[in-house]
Amino acid sequence: MKFASVRVVTQDIEGLVEFYQRLSGLGAARPAEGFAEIQFEGATLAISSEHLIKLFNVGAASAAANQSAILEFEVEDVDAVFERMNASGADIVMPTTLMPWGNRSLLLRDPDGNLVNIFSRPKR
């Protein structure tokens, strides 16, 4: 089995796609109206309009209702991501912090309130 993607359901697909493009510096593919994918190294972040869920899977998912999952992205330079996202007005939950296990972490909320952890591992 191959882990392929995580899909986030939103009522504001343009806003969420723009956030993750700004965060990553990557472009989004748009294979269908109301659906986008950003290809990261190792997995894909899919972003779907809540409208599509209502068409094909009524009640299966609700936009902006996540209270348990954290999207995590490993980067080389957490401080550079902090500066870029802070300058853009992103919702910073925790500024760059050295964690007890050695990672440097930054916690953000995307426009739908999903928690996003940006981290770098200690240099070895």
Q: Which helix (H) or strand (E) holds 30?
A: strand 29-32
Q: Which residue, 78, 70, 86, is CA-closest to 106? A: 78
Q: What CA–CA distances, in Å, run from 84 to 13, 15, 41, 59, 107?
A: 21, 17, 21, 36, 14
Task: Give me the percent of the chain exceeding a pLDDT of 70.
Answer: 100
Residue 103 lies inside a defined structural domain of this protein: yes
Could you read off the pLDDT of 37-88 as tens digits, one per residue?
999 998 999 999 988 877 777 777 778 888 889 999 999 999 999 999 999 9
Q: The CATH number of the domain where 17 resides is what?
A: 3.30.720.120
Rg of the chain on CA atoms, in Å: 15
Mean pLDDT over residues 91-112, rounded? 96
Judge if 29 and 73 occupy the same domain.
no
Count of domains in the chain? 2
